Amino acid sequence: MKKQQPQISEEMILEASWKLLGEEDIEKFSLRRLADRLGIQAPSLYWYFKSKQDLYYRLANQVSRVILEEFHSEGDWKEQLTGLAGTIRSVLSRYPCSTQLMMMTLPHEPDLIRFTNRMLLCVESTPLEQEQKLQVVLTLVNYVFFFVLDDYQHKRNVSELVKEQGVHANGEMVRLLDSMSEMEAGLFRGIFKSGLFDVMGTDRAFEFGVNLILLGIEQVIQTQTNEQDNMAKA
């Protein structure tokens, strides 16, 4: 007798997955917990996904699709890369643990492939070699991934510290730094007390990092152009 397919849908599963990831983080995520959230038995999920990794691929594919929908390419390669970086950051910030999911998956889904291809198109007009174009894309996307992930983890760490030490958390840190010598913690202490660590995760910090990458790419292009000109004159 043929088994009856459970009365859920892939869309319902994905939506429930995002909610669960937002509440418990990816470390605690499991198909059993997801099934409990949906009010079904865990084996029912296998009608739609072969494994948890398969579900992760589908979630990452969804994130890639949203990025593609929201990214509108205009201008030269620098403007396109800047816009792409901002779009990726915006979308990742709205989907809990999506950065970890994107880092854990390979482009084996249609929209993940389209996303990767779209990134490469941003630098196709540059005179860089194909290997360099790929490295440009990987460097930029890894910067965005780690920026978003670092901001997420920093907020979690601060939240946990406040829970443990309450309103005295900042004072405890100041006392620790004051107990250390200038050689050991002088520069770090100055940055901490001036509030510069509060810049972490801000638009200003993000844009500075993107500009550093773009300037590096421009320098590589200029160096290669100069070398080619010198060879032509020789």
Q: What is the pLDDT of residues 155-167, one digit of tens each?
A: 766 666 556 665 5
CA distance 211 to 197: 20
Total number of domains constituting the chain? 2
**How does DSSP classify residue 63?**
H
Task: Give the pLDDT band of residue 230 (cuts 50, 70, 90).
Answer: confident
Please state the separation of Cα 30 from the chain's center in Å. Answer: 21
Full-model pTM = 0.84
**Do 101 and 75 belong together in one domain?**
yes
| C-alpha separations of 218 from 97, 205, 212 in Å | 33, 20, 10
The whole-number average pLDDT for the span 95-107 is: 92
CA 64, CA 45: separation in Å to the nearest integer? 23
Residues 92, 135 within the same domain: yes
Average pLDDT value for the chain: 88
Residues 3 and 42 in one domain: yes
Nearest Cα to Cα of residue 71 among 115, 17, 104, 124 = 115
Tell whether 56 is covered by a domain. no
- Residue 119 corresponds to which tokens in the numbers above? 């990134």
Least confident of 140-149, 185-194, 205-214: 185-194
Question: What's the CATH number where 138 sits?
Answer: 1.10.357.10
Q: How buried is residue 63: exposed, middle or buried, by Cβ count under 10 Å (0-12/13-18/19+)?
A: buried
Per-residue pLDDT, 120 = 96
Residue 20 and residue 65 in one domain: no
